[in-house]
Amino acid sequence: MASVMLIAFLVGMMIGRVFDPPRLRIEEVEAWEQGLQLWFNREPQAQAEHVDGALVYRYEDAYGRVRDGQLRLPLGLVNWRLERDGRDLLLVLVSPRPLQGEWRGAQEDGRWRARLALRPE
């Protein structure tokens, strides 16, 4: 009886994994005239917060390459960095002036494009 229960449990776990959505993956990060454009494999859910003067977006249970760059915007230079924090990815934006960000996303060619427009607070 125990072996039948164990097999049923394992089969149930395998079936559950088949129907799980894939992990969020950041595929590309590009600069555009108002901020950053990020490409994902599916729709992202980000949590924004201000930490020590930086604007930080947290993507839970996501993966992607660690990278960084600099934007030249009308509000000045903005340094950005995509970094790991355990199983999460953080997008950290640092500027001499406090920043506000506004997300707009759309699905294109089977991927999800999110544009982050930056402006001073």
Q: What is the pLDDT of residue 87?
A: 87
Q: What is the pLDDT of residue 113?
A: 92
Q: Flag whether pLDDT at 27 surpasses 80.
A: yes
pLDDT digits (tens, 9 = 90+) for 51-79: 888 899 999 888 889 999 999 988 889 99
Provide long-range contacts, Cβ within 8 A and 24+ apart, for 22-25.
Answer: 23/61, 23/62, 23/63, 24/59, 24/60, 24/61, 24/62, 24/63, 25/62, 25/63, 25/64
Q: What is the pLDDT of residue 69?
A: 93
Q: What is the pLDDT of residue 68?
A: 92
Q: Among 4-18, 36-50, 75-89, 106-120, which is the least confidently predicted range? A: 4-18
Domains of the chain with bracketed CATH: 24-120 (2.60.40)
